[in-house]
A and B are shown apart, each in its own frame.
Chain A
Amino acid sequence: MLKNITLGQYYPVDSLIHRLDPRIKLILTIAFIVAVFMVHTLAGYAVIFAFVFWLSRLAKVPFRMLLRGLKPLRFIVILTFLLNLFFTPGEKVLVEFWIIRITEESLLQAVHYSLRLIFLVLGTSLLTLTTSPVSLSDAIEILLTPLKKIRFPAHELAMMMTIALRFIPTLLEETDKIMKAQMARGADFESGNLFNRARAMVPLLVPLFVSAFRRAGDLAMAMESRCYHGGEGRTRLRVLKIQNNDWAACGIMVLLIGLIVLEGILL
């Protein structure tokens, strides 16, 4: 019954975008976010939209897959739009009745802010759709390595992320098993009011926690018996190397930012 939950949203196809170095992709995504924040005209958003659409074609990710990432955020987007629409002060009144006052400035700002949110989500979705969770945490580790100088635990953080991702399906399977076992003993997870349902979770959660701790202990033991002692001096199976494609991607991003800046000056 828990099988239908898809984990992460990695879309496993082979494409130019999938093959880019995850570090570069991560940095370029940040650059993209900066670019989105520099846009001040609707023409700029059109450029951004064209760019995202082109990337999704290059990545062989269906565009509606990308749009699906917006679904959980739709309320926030709508709320942002409405708040900006009603509460931004402005001069040129478009509509006014009772306490509601919509001005040209407020309408423009509402459109700006909601578009900004939408493109932020689209850009980051593109990253997670085309980069597997493991290479993403690899990239984060390498990018955070300079922070080790100030005692920031970059390797440990990345290892924790990788382990957490690795165990999500395992724990889901375990949940399914324990749920069935308790249902065989007459437990009822589906009916009753909120309080009863929360209480019905106890026979599920306690064994799940117990087994998670047991697994954690076992995993720590297995890692230590294979001489794991932290990130010090550890080498990688897959060494990341910057290719020509990665430089090209950087070039394109610089071009995009240039275009946005130019548009800001000219318009």
Chain B
Amino acid sequence: MSIEVRHLTHTYSEGSALSAVALDDVSFSIQDGEFIGLIGHTGSGKSTLVQHLNGLLKPTSGQILIDGEDLNGEKVDRRALRRRIGLVFQYPEYQLFEETVAKDIAFGPKNQGLSAGEIDARVRYAMDCVHLDYEKYAEKSPFELSGGQMRRVAIAGVLAMKPSTLILDEPTAGLDPRGRDRILSMLEDLHRKENTTVIMVSHSMDDMARLATRLIVMANGKIVASGTPREIFSQREMMTSIGLGIPDAARLCGALREKGYDLPADLYRPEELKQHLLRLWKEAGKC
């Protein structure tokens, strides 16, 4: 499913004294199977943008085309569209409400009007996706779980609707390294095995370095850069000037280059940096 955003502008409380432009003439398109990293400092318009992508907010002007169809057109069934574009909000664990994990995950499929058998299959599928053991957790209350587990239940609630595009707003915020790793590897699987298009909002450049196939950088409601992680992370000055960093590996690589080590300028993954460092080590005849 392709998503195309054309000249999207959104103004909060338009016409009043408190009006604020959150998105200013934003245009981009997303193809099937991409893993988009949406980055930008706080208040740059990322959250506003993702809420437009499944029709929760209406544009002040501009269009969003899903497979060529205007999302805010008059004939479009927005509820049907929301099933195809799953949106996981920031801190999604605060939306849990049911008595058991299984019932909570079933909320989405139930709203889709699926049969009981299909709903059960979807719940098992979604729990498997987020690596939660069905036998162990299905009948537990979601409020007994740890923060990381609750978040995975909430994400499963969206996955159970089998969206072909998954949007996540800071899915790893506030989690410990282990919880964060679990969510990231789950997203990696979804993208690789199920070919789900993923759009992830994050502040963590390391997460982005690990997963994204393309980055979109936002500042003050505008898109300031777009390209592969390699292209974006090699522009260290631009990234720092808009209040963002670059991945640890890219920073270390930059510091070593300044000391005169022979390293490519565009390294950003820990593994590739490791390879190059081992090469340098060997060349220096240390082993």
Contacts and interface: CB of A to CB of B under 8 A. Distances in A.
Contact of A207 (B83, B96, B108): B96
B158 A184 contact: yes
A178 B111 contact: no
A210 B111 contact: no
Nearest to A205: B97
A58 to B, nearest CB: 24
A177 interface: yes
B281 interface: no
A206 B103 CA distance: 14
B94 interface: yes
A3 interface: yes
Given A177-B89, A181-B89, A187 B96 contact: no
B108 A186 contact: yes
Interface string B110-142: 011000000000000000000000000000000
Nearest to B163: A184
B56 A184 contact: yes
Interface in B71-117: 79, 82-83, 86-87, 89, 92, 94-98, 107-108, 111-112
Contacts of A174: 94
Interface residues of A, number: 20
Contact of A187 (B89, B111, B143): B111
Nearest to A186: B111
B13 interface: yes
Contacts of A187: 107, 111
Interface majority SS on B: helix, strand, loop or mixed?
Answer: helix
Contacts of A170: none
B161 interface: yes
A210 B143 contact: yes
Contacts of B161: 185-186
Given A180-B51, A211-B94, A185 B158 contact: yes
A142 interface: no
Interface in A187-214: 187-188, 202-203, 205-207, 210-211
B112 A207 contact: no
Contact of A186 (B13, B82, B97): B82
Contacts of B89: 177, 180-181, 184
Given A180-B56, A186-B111, 5 more contacts: A177-B89, A183-B56, A183-B82, A186-B107, A186-B112
Interface of B: 13, 51, 54, 56, 79, 82-83, 86-87, 89, 92, 94-98, 107-108, 111-112, 143, 157-158, 161
Closest 3 CB pairs of A and B: A186-B111, A206-B97, A181-B95
